């Protein structure tokens, strides 16, 4: 373990009041459940930081109109597991959820309302896949405008993402071993820089609107149903290093440097976007996993500073 201390000068005008709430199963944080941590948030910008562990609970984010951040310590080490709906965002605030493995066995794994952002997660619907995709629960059900799903793996489920209404944009994601990987069902679903592998039907326009661009399709029974090949789409083996353990791409993968060519989606090194979760500005990192954090003081005025002390282990 290494302890890191950062001093950050506050340049914004006014008083900084957002706080960080620590959730830790072993009782060393502020709370031992994620829901208790969420319920303790009181202002826009508050962060709930969840330390490694398996949290067996259904979580709802509904904070009366102000947006919060729910951050896990990484999808490899922080799990939300629940038989019913595991995560639900309510209201119209732009909440951000990142760094979790989120799993359900009997219902929609996640339901996202308007303005929600989900990134750097693994979402599973274990046991939800039926013989017919129409009778299956989705891993992610999207309801509302301006939903963003970034650098996330959606796997082992009936539906992967189902856009019920509103607008959903999916960027640099991986769909693996689902029945309907991506379905528009009244909503608008746009998918780019993503990889579809071993799905029964990769994309399904039921109603609404669905489009793909700069995405890779491999070993799906059907790539397009009700829609058609998009700009920059390829049909090729993405050449994962080991799909059972990692979604990293081999050096000669055809999904490297073939995502959306716009600079907006460039990889961290400035090169063209790699398809999948290791591509783009929200790439899965290989940095340390934070296991403990403290921020002092909780409130500072303009020109002041805060000290962030964190304990981390190498990922």
Output the domain CATH number for residue 256: 2.160.20.10
pLDDT bucket at 64, cuts 50 / 70 / 90: confident
Q: Is 11 domain-assigned?
A: no
Q: Is 10 domain-assigned?
A: no
Is residue 287 scored above 60 in pLDDT? Answer: no
Strands 240-242 and 78-82: unpaired
- Give the DSSP H/E element, type plus range, for residue 88: strand 87-89
pLDDT of residue 22: 98
What is the number of structural domains in the chain?
Answer: 1
Domain that includes residue 272, residue range: 17-301
Model-level pTM?
0.86
Is residue 2 scored above 50 in pLDDT? Answer: no
Tracing tokens 């002390």 back to the chain, one arrives at 309
Handedness of CA 180, 184, 186, 187 (dihedral sign): positive
133 or 276: whose pLDDT is higher? Answer: 276
Q: Is 308 domain-assigned?
A: no
Q: Is 8 domain-assigned?
A: no
Handedness of CA 30, 35, 36, 41 (dihedral sign): positive
pLDDT of residue 44: 94
Measure the N-to-C terminal CA separation of the chain; round to a whole number of Å.
Answer: 11
SS3 178: strand
């Amino acid at each position: 373990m290494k302890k890191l201390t950062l001093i950050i000068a506050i340049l914004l005008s006014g008083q900084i009041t957002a706080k960080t709430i620590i959730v830790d199963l072993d009782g060393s944080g502020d709370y031992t459940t994620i829901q208790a941590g969420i319920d303790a948030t009181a202002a826009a910008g508050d962060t709930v930081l969840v330390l490694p562990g398996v949290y067996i609970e259904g979580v709802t984010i509904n904070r009366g109109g102000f947006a919060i951040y729910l951050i896990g310590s990484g999808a490899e080490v922080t799990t939300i597991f629940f038989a019913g709906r595991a995560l639900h965002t309510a209201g119209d605030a732009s909440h951000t959820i990142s760094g979790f493995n989120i799993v359900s066995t009997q219902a929609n794994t996640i339901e996202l309302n308007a303005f929600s952002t989900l990134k750097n997660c693994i979402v599973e619907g274990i046991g939800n896949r039926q013989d017919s995709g129409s009778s299956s629960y989705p891993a992610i059900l999207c309801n509302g405008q301006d939903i963003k799903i970034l650098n996330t793996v959606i796997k082992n489920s009936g539906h992967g993402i189902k856009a019920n209404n509103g607008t959903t944009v999916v960027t640099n994601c991986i769909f693996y071993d689902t029945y309907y990987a991506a379905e528009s069902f009244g909503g608008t679903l746009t998918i780019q820089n993503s990889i579809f592998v071993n799905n029964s039907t990769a994309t399904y326009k039921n109603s609404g609107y669905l489009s793909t661009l700069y995405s890779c399709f491999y070993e799906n029974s059907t790539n397009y149903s009700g829609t058609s090949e998009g700009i920059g789409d390829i049909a090729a083996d993405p050449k994962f290093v080991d799909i059972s353990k990692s979604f990293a791409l081999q050096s000669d993968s055809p999904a490297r440097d073939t995502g959306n060519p716009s600079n907006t989606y460039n990889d961290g090194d400035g090169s063209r976007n790699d398809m999948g979760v290791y591509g783009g500005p929200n790439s899965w990192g290989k940095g340390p996993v934070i296991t403990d954090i403290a921020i002092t003081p909780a409130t500072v005025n303009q020109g002041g500073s805060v000290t962030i002390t964190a304990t981390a282990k190498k990922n």
